[in-house]
Structure formats: structure tokens, C-alpha cells
Structure 1
Amino acid sequence: MTMTLIKGRYQIKGFEPDGDTVHFLPDDITLWSKVPGGNKVKQDADGSASLRLDGIDALETHFQGVGPEFTHQPLDLGAHAARDALLAFLGFTQVVQGGDEKVTSATPETAPGFILTGGADKYGRCVALIGKGAPVPDADSGAALLVDVPMLHQTANHELLSRGLVYPTFYANLPKELRLDMAATSRQARATKAPDSVWANDVTHSGAAIEDLGSLTDDLVILPKLFRRLADYLRLFGPSLDHLPAFLAGGDDEYFFSDPRFTTKGLHRIVDVIGDTVKLRPAIEDVVFLEK
């Protein structure tokens, strides 16, 4: 599977970047039309667009979901660390953000880089591997490239995953060779459990004891995809988890393990709910989700 190379500049002033989302302006905005797949990239007035980093999921710094207000995962236990590492990797320093997570100033104001994309998600975000400077080997912007593991290792996606600052979360459009390498990288990071990594405090597989929404926002480090489902459930139905399996069964999460011909629908099939404790049964790098 090939991916489209697009060169341009990262923009963060006036935006709310986090550990897996950042804004990008192509040198040639017409190249957004070359992004493969059925979803179109949603552009701002200047032709820039939001990127979602492929293959990873960072702790949420500003998640809205079904509620009227934004919520977040523990900011001091990995959410801000992933964001800060991403911005530093891209070349930004002296980044100042307000209480709403919006960047008010940074040096430089934009940073050059490239993206390798296989498509956009349903929200119009371009899903991409992202790098700084120019890729090696280089090619013309707009070219379709067969992306290999050495190219993957030039990206922020690999950097954040190797440091354990983000979780692996794979979708079917990510080439298998890259997915397998990212899975191995994630397993190594989880085994290392660096003090600043999400794995140092992760309870996704050991079990998250949930009292209320505050447990998720202040104390528990869990897979962001699971956090988003739990945050929505708690805001809709309150602290009791009695109906959580039914809520998860009603979601549109569809996935497979090794063979894409055999998919399963509903997180209730891989998430155990015992009293007030929730845990994911399989290792997250073994699960491949279908893009909706």
C-alpha cells in the first residue's frame, strides 16, 4: 500500500495541539485532493487542516464527546508529556498555552515538515505519519510512496511510541508491515515502563476502579479509546457501571485480530466489567479497528 507524501509547515499558534493531533499547511494546498480514500480533508480558510497521527493514541487533553464541556485524562500523568514531546520533536520551543490548551505563542511560529497519509477520518482530519524537515529518501510533494520501516522510524509517530508516551491504536488502513513494527515498538516500551511513560501508571489491562468521572480525569491512566467510551457513559448514565456492557455493545467499534476477513463488533466482547472495575482483555496492539 502506498501513502501520499505532502510537504508543508506545522502550525500551532491559535490551535490546541495534543499528543496525537497537530495542524498542518501544505506548500501546495491542492494536494489535499490527492489524499486517498472516501473521506475528504476538512480545510480551514487558509488551506490548512488538522492531522491525526496514525497508529497512536495520546491521553486526551480536551475531549468533548456527548457533554457540553470538555474533559480530559490525567494531565500530569502523560497527557501533557505527549503533547510537549510532539511539539519539541517538530522543532517548537518556548510554547505558551492558555488554560483552554490553545497555543498563544511559540518559537518558531511554524515549522517545516512532511506527512505520509493513506486517508482522512470521518471528521475530516488527515490521518498521517508525520516528520520534520524532509523525508529520506526525498521525493516530490504529492508523490505516492511505498513507505517502509526506515521511513516510519523518521516520524513523530514512532518517536512517541518508542518512548511510551502514547498508546498504540491501529486501524486497518495502516500497512501491515508498519503496524507490526509499531506493535513491537509498543511492547518494548511497555516492558521498559519509563517513569514518564503512560505504561508507568497504566491500568487498562490490570483493571481501572471507577468511582465517577473524576476517577478518569484525575487518577486513572487508561487507553484513550476506552476513556472516551467511559466518559460518554458516565456523563449519560452516572457512576453505576451496571449498563456499561450494553452501552459498549451499542457502539460502532468494529475490529479484528489477525485476519481482516473475520471482524467483531462491540467493545463489550473484549472489555470486562466486574463491579466498578473495567479492564481490556487483549493487548491493545493485537487489535485492529476498522475506520468508520
Structure 2
Amino acid sequence: MPFTVIRGHFHARGYSPDGDSLRFAPQDTALLGRLSGPRARVNARGHVQLRIEAIDTLETHYTPPAGGGVYAQPAQWAEAAAERLLGFAGITGVVWDAAHRTVVEAADGTPGFILSRAVEKNGRPVAFVFAGDPPEADGAEVFLDAARLEESYNHLALREGLAYPTYYTGLFRELRDSLTAATGAARAAGLGLWPTDGTEAGFDATSLAVITDRVPILPKLFRRLVEYMVSFDTAVGFREKMEESAEPVLDLTEQNFTHFDSFIEQAAGSTRIRLTRPPEALVFDEMVARPADQFSRLLDPSAAP
């Protein structure tokens, strides 16, 4: 299935962008109606919030569903990713508020385009993000290959070590393989957050400050652990709680369909936690649980765009 080219402009002023989410004003909002999934949420300014495909950067302002405050991951890399995205989009003169959450001033409205096929459950187009003008007409349908992918912010964020790869079922294997190679190169070169990453090395979650102030970890793991620790005031028992949730995931290493908790290592009574798979070895299903055979195309080399 091809991607739709949607021209537009990037906006940050009055918003809280981070390293994997930015506001975008399509030149023709009607093109959003071509995308599969629910209707895109367009605000009064004609802007949509993008969900940038295949990457997850450190949280700058996360509120657990049950409440309990606003939490962020280590600011060095969370803020670096946000600044890199704004720079990639050509937005300059950025002034943040005192909490470094909201952009109060910026020279935005810069030109760019997205390649998208779908809108996710929160009304955000799932997008590959590009600066400048596309060679195609607005609304054209194109096939995205690995060479063009390298021009996107998605690829750049991974190859500079500013983001974790986070894959979902809609991502083609050819594109995933290119993003995984970029991740591996950044990790091997010790770029960005990788030298201090605690996801596989493990970390001792004796307090929330460990993961909010000191140790960067996969944001998907961070969000679930924060929610648990806010509710129970400890990390003890986290894996067991994750087991109850049975979050579906495809393990690319063993080509096995299982659950996220299968890769969370935590001894009984301990606060030490780690993932036993690198993030790029997992494919998550953001929809409701589906039969495992619906994942099968992700393992098929012929399932390319």
C-alpha cells in the first residue's frame, strides 16, 4: 500500500513538541481523509499532531492515565531530541517557558511534508517526516523505499542516537530493517543516549528519580513503570503486573508471538529491572489483541512496500 504525500507547514509556537511529536498544518486538510483509521484530529488552527513513525524519544512531560503528576525522562536527551526535531523542521528562534514544556515564541510555519498511510487511535497521522518541498504533487501516492527513508527525520533520530526504535505492526519490513541498521550503528558508535541506556543493561528502580533523572530507558517501558510506581509506590511486583496485562508483541529474534512481560526480567522482591531483548527486536500491536497469524506478514521478506 502506498503512502500519501501531504505538503504543509510545521508549527511549534503555543505547543509542547518533543522529539517524536510535532504539529503540522496540511496545505489541503482533505488529504487527511484518504488515510486509513479514525478521522484525524484537526484543531481550530488547522493543525494536526503527528505521531512520528517507528521512533520513541525520551518523555518530556508524561502524565500516567491514572494521574499522579507529570514525569519526564533524563532531560539531556529528552530535550536534545526535541531541539533536533525543531531544527530539522527549520523552526528557529525557539523560546520555551520556564518548565521547558511549551514553546512561547518561535519562527515557525516552515515548509515540509509527510508520507502517511494511516491515522492512529488518538487522531494523529502516523508519519514519516521530511523538510522542504517534495518532488511529487500534493496528494500523490508514492512507495517509500530505504533510500528515501534516510532523508526522513525518523531515520536521522535513530542514526544520531536520539531515539529508541519502537515498531508497530503497520511498518514494512524493508523500512524496519533500515531503521534497525541505523540503530545498531549508533549504538556501536556510542552516540547520543546509548552509552547510558539502561534498557538491556538493567537499572535498580529504587525510586522514580532513577528513571526520571538518571537512567534513560525505552520510553514504552518507562511509561508503564511510572504508572505502576505511582500507583504502588514501589517497583516490586512490576513484572507480575505486566504479565496480567498480556500486552501482545512479536519477538523478531525467535519469530514468536508472545507478550511484553516475557522480556521483562525482574526477580521476586527485587527492584532491578531489564529487558532481555533490544527494542528493535520487538514489534508491538497498538490495536486490540489480534490473532497471531495477522502478524505473519512482518516475517515475510516479500512484505515490502
Percent identity for Structure 1 against Structure 2: 34
In 1: Cα distance, 2:240 partner to 2:125 partner: 32
Change (3 A) 1:260 1:289: farther
Q: Which runs of 5+ in 2 are unaligned?
A: 288-305
Q: Shift of residue 22 of structure 1?
A: 0.3
**C-alpha distance in 1, partners of 2:202/2:273?**
5
Q: Is the 8 A contact 2:193 2:216 kept in 1?
A: yes
Once the two structures are TM-superposed, the CA of residue 84 in structure 1 deviates from its matched residue by 0.6
- Alpha-carbon shift at residue 90 of structure 1 (Å): 0.9
CA distance in 2, matches of 1:207, 1:253: 21
Deviations 1:170-222 (A, max 9, x none): 1111111100000011011011112xx11021010010111111211111110
AA matched with 1:27: Q
* Larger CA deviation: 225-234 vs 250-259: 250-259
Amino acid at match of 2:183: S
Determine the structure 1 residue equivalent to 2:18.
18
Instruction: Say whether residues 1:253 and 2:253 are aligned partners.
Output: no
1:156 aligned partner: 153
For 2:78 and 2:176, locate their aligned partners in 1 and report how far apart those are by CA, in whole Å.
Answer: 23
Counterparts of 2:252 and 2:279, CA distance in 1: 13
TM-score where L is the length of structure 2: 0.89
Q: CA deviation at 1:236?
A: 0.7
| One-letter amino acid of the counterpart of residue 139, structure 1 | E
Secondary structure at the residue paired with 1:193? coil
The secondary structure found in structure 1 opposite 2:85 is helix
Instruction: For residue 231 of structure 1, report the CA deviation from its aligned partner.
Output: 0.3
Contact 1:118 1:174 in 2 (8 A): no
Render the CA deviation track for 1:20-69: whole Å, top value 9, x for unaligned: 00000000111110112x22211112331100110100000000123242
- State the partner residue of 1:7: 7
Distance 1:40 1:93 in 2: 31
When residues 43 and 278 of structure 1 are mapped into structure 2, their CA distance, relative to the original with a 3 A threshold, is: same
Task: Please show how residues 202-241 of structure 1 align to structure 2 within 5 Å.
Answer: 202-241=197-236
**Deviation at residue 271 of structure 1 after TM alignment:** 0.7
Which amino acid counterpart does residue 136 of structure 2 have in structure 1?
Answer: A
Describe the shift of the 1:251–1:150 C-alpha distance in structure 2 as closer, same or farther (beyond 3 A).
same
| Counterpart among 263, 269, 273 of residue 278 in structure 1 | 273
Q: Report the counterpart of residue 67 of structure 1 in structure 2.
A: 67
TM-score by length of 1: 0.93
Q: Which runs of 5+ in 1 are unaligned?
A: none
Instruction: Name the count of aligned residue pairs.
Output: 283
